[in-house]
């Protein structure tokens, strides 16, 4: 176990809890690893200073939420300090939203969701009645904070403006894919988040494994890219492969693995509150803990990081 002093000094106050610089992404729970392995990851995360778990109603058709809920009930002495984020998918209408929120509350075994993301953009979000439904759930205490996931700058700006126009609570967090290969956090989004005090959370620092180089010669069985084929549409393009080649070149020159460099890149991006790291084993989390304390300006310049 690492000395978690560095993790503790990078906690960001949020709601009545804190977000750690590394968050635990729980997409593998109940889909790629069972409850026992999931418990082990959550225990290890807490021992190393992580205070932020991220899941979604869609992960394993609710299995991830249920496993986290079981862990919360079993680890009450520490779980009360963990900020849990989950997500809801379209359709976005009052009936579906309320049903989804209530199901997530049941799965997690809690009375309130700390942070609920709109999992992806849908045109219905621009319906004031839809935003009002979410706002009413915040006012009722079932949701403490509302966020967005996978929104571009234009979509984010439209929702924020609608919330302001109608006196609703604003989005408090955005979660987008952001790594050395694919960047879905741009300067426009960053400025909006600075202006309205919106926390920025990023996911897939290793590009779902793409930045390890494991998919350069094709997709093997029982890998993330074979389980979720949509990853291939995101990463299998000229720009991403050029960046992977650059990462591999610097890795060969410095002796650091591509995983270490990619994690360090993600964790050193400005204005990012937390980077989600997941996986199937404690060893994968340990890579992130090591990268969190890594800062080498010469190497970052080689990667054109800053």
pLDDT in tens, 182-215: 999 999 999 999 999 999 999 999 999 999 999 9
Q: Give residue 295's pLDDT.
A: 87
d(CA 35, CA 41): 10
pLDDT value at 39 more than 60: yes
Altogether, the residues listed in the chain come to a count of 306
User: From CA 175, how far away is CA 178, in angstroms rounded?
Assistant: 9
Q: How, if at all, do strands 173-177 and 143-149 pair?
A: parallel
The per-residue pLDDT for 251 is 96
What's the pLDDT score for residue 14? 82
Q: By C-alpha distance, which of 137, 192, 196, 126 is closest to 159?
A: 126
Q: Is the predicted pLDDT of residue 94 greater than 60, yes or no? A: yes
Q: How far apart are CA 39 and CA 70, in angstroms?
A: 9
- Whether 54 shows a pLDDT value over 50: the answer reads yes
Percent of the residues in the chain that have a pLDDT greater than 70, as a whole number:
96
| Residue 79, token pair as written in the block | 């779980």
Say how far apart CA 246 and CA 70 lie, in whole Å.
43
128 CB neighbour count, 10 Å cutoff: 13
Q: Using N-to-C axis directions, what is the helix angle for 282-292 and 35-47, rounded to 10°?
A: 20
Closest CA to 274 of 165, 210, 193, 166: 193
Structural domains of the chain in order of their starting residue, each with its CATH number: 5-209+271-294 (3.20.20.100)
Q: Is the pLDDT of residue 5 over 50?
A: no
Given a cut of 80, whether residue 154 has pLDDT beyond it is yes
pLDDT class for 306, splitting at 50, 70, 90?
Answer: very low
């Amino acid at each position: 176990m690492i000395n978690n002093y560095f993790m503790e000094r990078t906690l960001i106050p949020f709601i009545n809890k804190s977000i750690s610089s590394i968050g635990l992404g729980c997409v593998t729970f109940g889909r790629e690893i069972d409850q026992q392995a999931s418990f082990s990851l959550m225990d290890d995360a807490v021992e190393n200073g992580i205070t932020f778990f991220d899941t979604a109603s869609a992960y394993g058709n609710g299995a991830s939420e249920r496993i986290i809920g079981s862990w919360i009930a079993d680890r009450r002495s520490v779980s009360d300090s963990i900020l849990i984020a989950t997500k809801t998918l379209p359709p976005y209408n009052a009936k579906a939203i309320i049903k989804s929120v209530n199901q997530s509350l049941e799965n997690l075994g809690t009375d309130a969701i700390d942070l609920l993301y709109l999992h992806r953009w849908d045109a219905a979000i621009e319906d004031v009645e839809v935003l009002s439904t979410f706002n009413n759930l915040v006012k009722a205490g079932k949701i403490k904070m509302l966020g967005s996931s996978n929104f571009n700058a234009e979509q984010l700006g439209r929702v924020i403006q609608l919330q302001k126009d109608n006196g609703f609570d604003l989005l408090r967090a955005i979660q987008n894919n952001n790594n050395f290969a694919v960047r879905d956090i741009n300067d426009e989004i960053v400025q909006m988040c600075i202006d309205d005090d919106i926390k920025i959370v990023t996911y897939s620092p290793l590009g779902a494994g793409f930045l390890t180089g494991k998919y350069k010669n094709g997709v093997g069985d029982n890998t993330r890219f074979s389980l979720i084929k949509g990853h291939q549409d995101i990463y299998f393009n000229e720009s991403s492969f050029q960046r992977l080649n650059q990462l591999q070149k610097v890795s060969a020159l410095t002796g650091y693995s591509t995983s270490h460099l990619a994690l360090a890149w993600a964790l050193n991006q400005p204005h990012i509150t937390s980077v989600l790291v997941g996986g199937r084993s404690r060893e994968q989390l340990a890579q992130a803990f090591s990268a969190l304390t890594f800062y080498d300006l010469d190497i970052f310049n080689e990667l054109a990081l800053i």
